Structure 1
Amino acid sequence: MALPPNTNEAFLREVDEELRRDQLATFWERWGRWVIVAIVVGLAAFGAFLYAQHRTEQAAGIEGEKLQAAFAKLGANNPTAAAAPLADIAASKRDGYRALAKFTQADIALQKNDLKGAAAKFAEVAADTSVAQPFRDLALIRQTSAEYDGLKPQVVIERLRPLAVPGNAWFGSAGEMVAMAHLRMNRRDLAGALFGQIARNDDVPDTIRQRAVQMAGVLGVDAIAPNEGSKAQ
């Protein structure tokens, strides 16, 4: 016996709904526990991320306050009291704080005329690949300056050669030490040329440029840039 149209549509809807309920029940029986586990793990991971971020910001704030306190002690001419907090920050996992603390420790050692201790701290920063390259370069220059009298000229030249070029941020400081190393090796031609480059470079600090002008003149090198010569006329 055929079903009336309305009854047929109602029957089909009921069958369709029953099929969906069966599919959902089957899915939940098979995968329900894993769905719950995934949700719990996701929420736990998100909570752990928020907590770690909060702890990181909190720890950075504490280290910042500790570093500020160490600088205050140094400003009060009390390096002994600053030693402990600086040592703590020098072991930090935060690159900037760690490098700054080691730079400060090295400067304190220099004030005590402890060249070896200062050079060791600068060397640690120079070798730290997690620190930005300009700070590593500066540390290498400071290390070389502290060790300069005990280094062979060729070691100075090889160490600072990549920095002793126009355009490098530390060209003046590195170039001056390399030029002096050339002089120690009796290479007046190389020393004079480098002093001339330093003297004509507007990006080099004035004190270094003035010394370079004097040294270039002694070595017979014209250290006046063309535009400066035209102005003088």
Structure 2
Amino acid sequence: MSNENIFREIDEELRTDRMRALWRRFAPFVIGGAIAIVALVAINEGWSWYTNSQSAAASEELYAAYDSAEAGDLDEALSQLDALAADGSGGYPVLAEFRKAALLAEQGDTADAVAAYDDLANTQSNPRLRELALLLAANLLVDNGSLADVEARIGTLATEDSQMRRVAGELLGLAQYKAGEFAAAEESFETVLNDPLAQSGIRNRMAYYLAQMLAEGVVAEAPENAEDATINGEPAAEPSAE
């Protein structure tokens, strides 16, 4: 292998590490708004579920699983969530499945976590919960899968008619960047940046990503709108959940 090829591989690794560092910094904000959907569903429906005695029991089982997870007993938490998913009432089995997938991801079992989210996406009648499952699976696959894996799950969500297009566009752009598809990544980030409904937090992240790509020389010039998202080179506001 020539020295030129060696230096090129090192440079590519450094680029990936820098973008991954940005991604890990902003990841909680990327999916924060999406995860809020689950909380809103639970709050909206929780009272009617709780008025039913069986749902009240399911609620207690769910919180018991949360307590086990917080105490570090993940095996017990997974067992409790499996039982709730199988026998629970109301919307609690779905919440249990989401929590189980998250715990699997926390344990580093990415493959099973993605499979759990895929199962949720394939079985959900609620379109918002289905989209959330797809986004969470794609979120894991940005670092642990291929561009094709990410596109298969959120390609249809990164379109103009999707309410989740901004989060999906960000995840898709990151996957494209990781795959070396820099022109496609730039287009994905600019599409989110130029979305009139995009909030300042996600616009700031797009400006960060595009500035990083500009500094690396993988894009020709920064988009004009990137200047609107920053003030004197600094973010206009701290990133916030969309």
**Both proteins in one fold, TM over 0.5:** yes
Give aligned pairs, total. Answer: 174
Cα root mean square deviation, aligned? 3.1
SS in 2 for 1:162: coil
Cα 1:150/1:112, change in 2 over 3 Å:
closer
SS in 1 for 2:225: coil
Residue matched to 1:124:
119
Say whether residues 1:69 and 2:34 are aligned partners: no
| Greater RCO structure (CA 8 Å; 6+ sep) | 2
Residue matched to 2:54:
59
Displacement of 1:169 in angstroms is 3.5
Give a deviation string over 1:35-63, Cα, whole Å, max 9, x none: xxxxxxxxxxxxxxxxxxxxx93322211
Aligned partner (choices 150, 166, 183) of residue 189 of structure 1: 183
Cα 1:195/1:68, change in 2 over 3 Å:
same
Contact 2:146–2:179 under 8 Å retained in 1: no
1:73-84 correspondence runs (5 A)? 73-84=68-79
Residue matched to 2:164:
170
Give a deviation string over 1:81-105, Cα, whole Å, max 9, x none: 3222211112246462122111111
Displacement of 1:124 in angstroms is 1.3
Displacement of 1:222 in angstroms is 1.4
Cα 1:74/1:123, change in 2 over 3 Å:
same
Aligned partner (choices 192, 196, 211) of residue 198 of structure 1: 192
Q: Name the % identity.
A: 23
Residue matched to 2:223:
222
Query: Is the radius of gyration larger for structure 1 or structure 2?
Result: 1
Cα 1:158/1:121, change in 2 over 3 Å:
closer
- Of the structure 1 ranges 143-152 and 78-87, higher mean CA displacement relative to structure 2 is found in 143-152
Read off the aligned partner of 1:57 and give its amino acid letter: N
Read off the aligned partner of 1:172 and give its amino acid letter: R
Contact 1:196–1:223 under 8 Å retained in 2: no
SS in 2 for 1:168: coil
Read off the aligned partner of 2:207 and give its amino acid letter: V
Q: Which runs of 5+ in 1 are unaligned?
A: 1-55
Read off the aligned partner of 1:78 and give its amino acid letter: D
TM-score, normalising length: structure 1: 0.62
1:105-116 correspondence runs (5 A)? 105-116=100-111
**Alpha-carbon distance between aligned partners in 2 of 1:143 and 1:97, rounded to the nearest angstrom:** 20
**Alpha-carbon distance between aligned partners in 2 of 1:216 and 1:178, rounded to the nearest angstrom:** 14
**Alpha-carbon distance between aligned partners in 2 of 1:79 and 1:213, rounded to the nearest angstrom:** 38
SS in 2 for 1:179: helix
TM-score, normalising length: structure 2: 0.60
Give a deviation string over 1:178-198, Cα, whole Å, max 9, x none: 223434555433322221122
Displacement of 1:151 in angstroms is 3.7
Displacement of 1:216 in angstroms is 2.5
SS in 1 for 2:158: coil
Contact 2:137–2:153 under 8 Å retained in 1: no
Aligned partner (choices 87, 92, 98) of residue 97 of structure 1: 92
